[in-house]
A and B are shown apart, each in its own frame.
Chain A
C-alpha cells in the first residue's frame, strides 16, 4: 500500500559525517521519531547500497517508518522500500513508475514552481522542494528558494511537498509554518552530536499546527 508523506524526513548521509553508517543513522533517526528515512548513498556501489537498503528496510518495518531510496528505483524495488526519490538527473518519473507500480511512492526534486508542476503532471506522488536555505551538503547551482517560494509551490500543486535544503533546529519552525507536509533534514541530524536527540528535538517542533 502506498504510504503517506508527512512529518520529519531524515536523509542518511556519510559524506557530511563518517561516524555512523547509513543503517546506524537510520536507526538513530527512527529511535528519535523520524517519520520518513531516505537512504542517500551516492558514493556506494550497488552491492553496498543494496545491503544498506535491506538493513534499513528491516528497521523501518519494525519502527513503522516510511523508507525512501534516493535516485535508484532498482534498489527501492529490490529492498521493497516504500518508494524512490528522483533528482533531476535520475530516471524519468514514468520510467520509475513502470518499474515500481502504483503502490510505491515516487518523489521528484523541484527547485522552481514550473519544475514542481511538471513533476506533478508526470505522476510524482510528492515534490521534494528546495533547497530552501543555503546548504553545504550538496553543491548547488541555483540560489536558495526561501520560504516564500515554498508557499507559492504549496499553492500551486495538489500533491504533498517535502521542503529540503539547509533546514535545521533554528529555521525549521519557519518552514513548518508554511503548512508544508514534510520537512527533510540532512546535516541537522547526521552531523549532530547525538542524532537521536537531534531528531527528537526537530520532531517536537513538527507537531501538527
Chain B
C-alpha cells in the first residue's frame, strides 16, 4: 500500500488525553510528549464543563503551537473553533462529519468508529482520518470485548484514509496494529501514565517506524 497524499499530513502517533489517569498536571504531560516528538494531540475530557474545557484547550493550543503539533478537540466543535484547533474528533454520538466540513472546510475531522459500516460511512462523508477501536483489552472499556487485529485488518481493506488504532495500545503491540492496516496508533493510558514519557514516545516510534505494510 502506498501512502496517499492525505496520509503525509499525519504522523503515526496520536496522544489522547485523560487527565484522570495521570498523577501529573495535563499541561506538563502534553508538553513532555510534544517535546519528545508527539505531533498529534486530542483533548478528550468528557467530564469537563465548557468553561474548563475551553481553558484547557487554550493552554494546549499554546503548547502544541510551540512544538508544531496539531491539536484536536473531541466532540466540542465550539471549543475547537474558539481556540483555533486544527480539527475535531467526532465520536459516533457527535456531529455528522459534513456539518463540520460545511462550517469550516479547513478543519480536519477525525471520526471514532467501532464497526465497518461506521468506518465506510465516515470515509464517504469526508472524514480525514478514523480512530478505530478498541483493538486490545483496556481498562477504559472493561465491559465490551476488544475488537482485535483481525477487525482492524478487515476495516483497513475498505478504507483509504489514515486509520489510527485505539484501545489498549502500547509500544509492545503498536507494530502489530500497523502491520494489520493501521496508519498509526492512538495512545491514552500508556502515555498518560508513563513514568518517562520521552522514553515511551521513543519506544512507540521505534515500534511503528519503517514497518513494511506491503
With A47-B93, A78-B95 given, is the CB distance from A89 to B81 under 8 Å?
Answer: no
A76 and chain B: residue at smallest CB distance: B78
Chain B residue contacts of A71, Cβ below 8 A: 50
Q: Once bound together, how far apart are the Cα atoms of A181 and B208, in whole Å?
A: 62
Q: Nearest Cβ distance between residue A88 and chain B, in whole angstroms?
A: 8
- B136: chain A residues at CB < 8 Å are none
Q: Residue A72 at the B interface, CB < 8 A? A: yes
**Residues of chain A from 93 to 133 with CB closer than 8 A to chain B in the complex:** 95-96, 98-99
Closest to A90 in B: B50
Q: Are B95 and A95 in contact (CB under 8 A)?
A: no
Known: A78-B103, A99-B82. A46 touches B94 (CB 8 A): yes
Q: C-beta contact mask, B46-83 vs A, less than 8 Å → 1, else 0? A: 00011110100000000000000000000111110111
Q: Are the CB atoms of B99 and A89 closer together than 8 Å?
A: no
- Residues of chain A within 8 A (CB-CB) of B75 are 46
Residue among B82, B92, B94, B99 facing the most chain A CB atoms (10 A cut-off): B82
Asked whether, in the complex, the Cβ of B82 is within 8 Å of the Cβ of A95, the reply is yes
CB < 8 Å neighbour of B81 from A47, A48, A74: A74
Is A77 within 8 A of B78, CB to CB? yes
B interface residues, tally (CB under 8 Å): 21
- Residues from chain A with Cβ under 8 Å of B103 in the complex: 77-78
Residues in B145-204 with C-beta less than 8 Å from chain A: none
Shortest beta-carbon distance from B94 to chain A in Å: 4
Identify B99's interface contact among A50, A86, A90, A92, CB under 8 A: A50
Residues of A within 8 A of B76 (CB): 46, 74
Residue of B49, B54, B95 touching A47 (CB-CB under 8 A): B95
Q: Tell me which residues across on chain B come within 8 A of A58, comparing CB atoms.
A: none
Q: A47-B95, A74-B76 are in contact. Are A90 and B81 (CB under 8 A)?
A: no
Inter-subunit contact A47/B78 (CB<8 Å): no
Q: Is A15 an interface residue (CB 8 A)?
A: no
A208 to B19, CA, bound (A): 52
Mask for B93-108, Cβ within 8 A of A = 1, else 0? Answer: 1111001100100000
Q: Pick the most buried of B52, B78, B82, B92: most chain A CB atoms within 10 A of its CB.
A: B78
CA distance A48 to B95 in the complex (A): 9
User: Across the interface, do B78 and A72 meet the contact criterion of CB distance under 8 Å?
Assistant: yes
Closest Cβ of chain B to A68, distance in Å, is 15
What is the minimal beta-carbon distance from B34 to any residue of chain A, in angstroms?
A: 23
Across the interface, which residues of A come within 8 angstroms of B82, CB to CB? 73, 91, 95-96, 98-99
Asked if B95 and A50 make an inter-chain contact with CB atoms under 8 angstroms apart, the answer reads yes
| Chain B residues with CB under 8 A of A90 | 49-51
Q: How far is the CB of A84 from chain B (nearest CB, A)?
A: 9
Which A residue's beta carbon lies closest to that of B50?
A: A90
Say whether A92 contacts B51, CB under 8 Å: yes
Task: Decide yes or no: A91 and B51 within 8 Å by CB, A74-B76, A74-B78, A98-B82 being known contacts.
Answer: yes
Given contacts A77-B103, A78-B103, contact A91 B93 (CB under 8 A): no
On chain A, the residues within 8 Å of B99 by CB distance are 50, 78
A129–B63 Cα gap in the complex (Å)? 37
Within 8 Å CB of A99, what residues of B?
78, 81-82
Contacts of A92 on B, CB cut-off 8 Å?
51, 54
Contact with B along A11-23 (1 / 0, CB 8 A): 0000000000000
- Going nearest first, the 6 A-B pairs with the smallest beta carbon separation are A74-B78, A74-B77, A45-B93, A95-B82, A73-B78, A89-B49
Residues of B within 8 A of A (CB): 49-52, 54, 75-79, 81-83, 92-96, 99-100, 103
Could you write out 7 A-B pairs with CB less than 8 Å apart? A46-B94, A47-B95, A50-B95, A74-B81, A74-B95, A92-B54, A99-B78
Q: B-contacting residues of A (Cβ < 8 Å)?
A: 45-48, 50, 71-74, 77-78, 86, 88-92, 95-96, 98-99
